[in-house]
């Protein structure tokens, strides 16, 4: 069913696109309406109506969100949001002519629609009676009330990382892993519901707590990569925790070195470069974390071509470490003053893709850049 609904969204957006490129009697537009009509009729054989809603930037069908990162999905959501459409319902009995009229109305630019009093008013002037467009009645949207908001998840995660940091500084041997697992589960869950909102938080930074923000961001970005690769929920959990703890060893770097603005001396650099080994060591002493955590902490700076640190010889790096390395670099670069600002996301991504094959696993870095670009289409930045 989900695939068929996904196709419906695809046909809707291609009809809208066709009309933006060709006149309304052009065979390409007619053809796209044919496909849309055929598909919709097929879906309406089994039900009396079909309803889509947009809740928190996510397209939802009968309370079931699509976990889709395809660009046509995001463009479609953005298209509807601009026109203030929160819900579309197709009712059984709709015919091709109505469908075509509907696409014609919805394709008007948002300013024209606004001047004319909104989309519902415009539809009322046509023959369309089997499509209802409107706002969401919030009482029927339990989703937004029931779930913890992405901001809350983000806060929880930050809070936890701060506590873990303090514990380690105090010399505590045991890290609170149970809570970390729960947080990662919440990140995964909330990403499935309101992916784009959670991802957008990545670019909101509080610099005083940089390292915690960084860990949480890297976890979110790596889970998103894992989802793209189709990893299972268990695998995503391990991946998320490993990413969350990738820089654990940094806690042992003296604050003066972390804060130092000038170039580091050779000795200081050596101290910094010890954090992957220290992290892995701390995690070896920690019970209940997946083995992957230790591997990722150890390998996240080695680099695809092994040019980083610690120096290893002829070693095939773990996929998770290669993924974390990409999220890690992206987060570090986009938080730099020189790269700050959304327009620079593009610059960072091209820079990183160029390093595919040397610093980064080439396919992973391409996939990553595609993912970020789809989340932040140019017109949304
Ligand atoms: Fe690191
Ligand atoms: Fe890092």
Looking at residue 208, its pLDDT comes to: 41
Classify 133 as helix, strand or coil: strand
Are 180 and 138 part of one and the same domain?
no
Ligand located closest to 308 CA: 1
Are 241 and 260 part of one and the same domain?
yes
φ and ψ at 163, to 5 degrees?
-65, -45
Are 234 and 212 part of one and the same domain?
yes
Ligand located closest to 253 CA: 1
**CA 67–ligand 2 middle distance (angstroms):** 27
Are 243 and 340 part of one and the same domain?
yes
Looking at residue 138, its pLDDT comes to: 45
**CA 125–ligand 1 middle distance (angstroms):** 60
Are 169 and 90 part of one and the same domain?
no
- Residue span of the structural domain in which 13 resides: 2-143
**CA 247–ligand 1 middle distance (angstroms):** 5
Cβ-proximal residues to 12 (8 Å cutoff; 6+ apart), any chain:
36, 76, 103
Whichever domain contains 184, its CATH number is 1.10.3210.10
Looking at residue 299, its pLDDT comes to: 97
Q: Which two tokens stand for residue 82?
A: 């601009």
Domain count, the chain: 2
**pLDDT, tens digit only, all 381 positions of the chain:** 778 888 899 899 999 989 988 888 999 999 999 999 999 999 999 888 888 888 766 788 876 777 665 667 777 887 888 888 888 889 888 999 999 999 999 998 888 888 888 888 888 888 888 888 876 544 443 333 345 566 677 777 777 777 777 777 777 766 667 777 777 877 776 665 545 555 555 554 444 456 777 888 899 899 889 988 888 888 888 898 899 889 988 878 888 888 888 889 999 999 999 999 998 998 888 777 789 999 999 999 999 999 999 999 878 899 999 999 999 999 988 876 555 555 578 889 999 999 999 999 999 999 999 988 877 655 444
Find the distance separating the first CA and the last CA of the chain, reported in whole Å.
33
Which of 143, 171, 196 marks a domain boundary? 143
- Do 128 and 178 form a contact (C-beta atoms < 8 A)? no
**CA 276–ligand 1 middle distance (angstroms):** 6
Are 22 and 85 part of one and the same domain?
yes
**CA 77–ligand 1 middle distance (angstroms):** 36
Looking at residue 41, its pLDDT comes to: 94
**CA 364–ligand 1 middle distance (angstroms):** 19
Looking at residue 204, its pLDDT comes to: 46
Are 117 and 8 part of one and the same domain?
yes
CA dihedral (334, 339, 343, 349) positive or negative: negative
Ligand located closest to 279 CA: 1
Classify 232 as helix, strand or coil: coil
Are 93 and 161 part of one and the same domain?
no
Which of 83, 116, 143 marks a domain boundary? 143
Are 99 and 172 part of one and the same domain?
no
Looking at residue 32, its pLDDT comes to: 95
Are 136 and 160 part of one and the same domain?
no
**CA 253–ligand 1 middle distance (angstroms):** 11
**Preceding omega of 124 cis (within 30 degrees of 0):** no
**Preceding omega of 69 cis (within 30 degrees of 0):** no
Ligand located closest to 327 CA: 2
Are 114 and 259 part of one and the same domain?
no
Which of 143, 173, 195 marks a domain boundary? 143
Are 183 and 301 part of one and the same domain?
yes
């Amino acid at each position: 069913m989900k695939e068929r609904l996904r196709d419906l969204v695809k046909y809707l957006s291609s009809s809208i696109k066709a009309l933006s490129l060709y006149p309304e009697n052009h065979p390409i537009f007619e053809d796209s309406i044919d496909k849309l009509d055929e598909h919709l009729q097929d879906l309406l054989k089994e039900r009396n109506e079909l309803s889509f809603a947009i809740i928190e930037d996510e397209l939802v069908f009968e309370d079931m969100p699509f976990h889709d990162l395809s660009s046509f999905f995001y463009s479609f959501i953005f298209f509807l949001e601009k026109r203030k459409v929160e819900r579309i319902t197709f009712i059984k009995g709709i015919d091709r002519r109505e469908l075509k009229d509907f696409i014609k109305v919805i394709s008007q630019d948002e300013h024209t629609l606004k001047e004319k009093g909104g989309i519902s008013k415009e539809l009322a002037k046509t023959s369309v009676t089997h499509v209802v467009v409107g706002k969401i009645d919030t009482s029927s949207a339990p989703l937004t009330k029931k779930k913890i908001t992405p901001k809350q998840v983000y806060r929880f995660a930050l809070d936890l990382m701060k506590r873990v940091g303090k514990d380690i500084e105090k010399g505590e041997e045991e890290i609170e892993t149970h809570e970390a697992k729960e947080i990662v589960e919440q990140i995964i869950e909330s990403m499935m519901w309101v992916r784009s909102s959670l991802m957008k938080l990545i670019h909101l930074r509080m610099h005083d707590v940089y390292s915690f923000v960084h860990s949480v961001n890297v976890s979110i970005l790596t889970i998103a990569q894992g989802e793209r690769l189709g990893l299972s929920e268990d695998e995503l959990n391990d991946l998320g925790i490993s990413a969350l703890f990738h820089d654990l060893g940094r806690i042992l770097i003296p604050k003066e070195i972390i804060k130092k603005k000038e170039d580091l001396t050779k000795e200081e650099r050596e101290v910094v470069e010890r954090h992957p080994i220290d992290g892995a060591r701390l995690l070896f002493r920690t019970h209940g974390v997946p083995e992957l955590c230790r591997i990722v902490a150890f390998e996240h700076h080695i680099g695809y071509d092994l040019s980083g640190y610690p120096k290893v010889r002829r070693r095939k790096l773990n996929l998770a470490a290669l993924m974390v390395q990409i999220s890690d670099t992206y987060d570090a670069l986009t938080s730099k003053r020189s790269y700050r600002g959304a327009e620079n996301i593009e610059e960072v991504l091209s820079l990183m893709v160029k390093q595919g094959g040397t610093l980064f696993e080439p396919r992973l870095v391409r996939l990553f850049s595609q993912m970020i670009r789809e989340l932040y289409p140019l017109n949304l930045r």
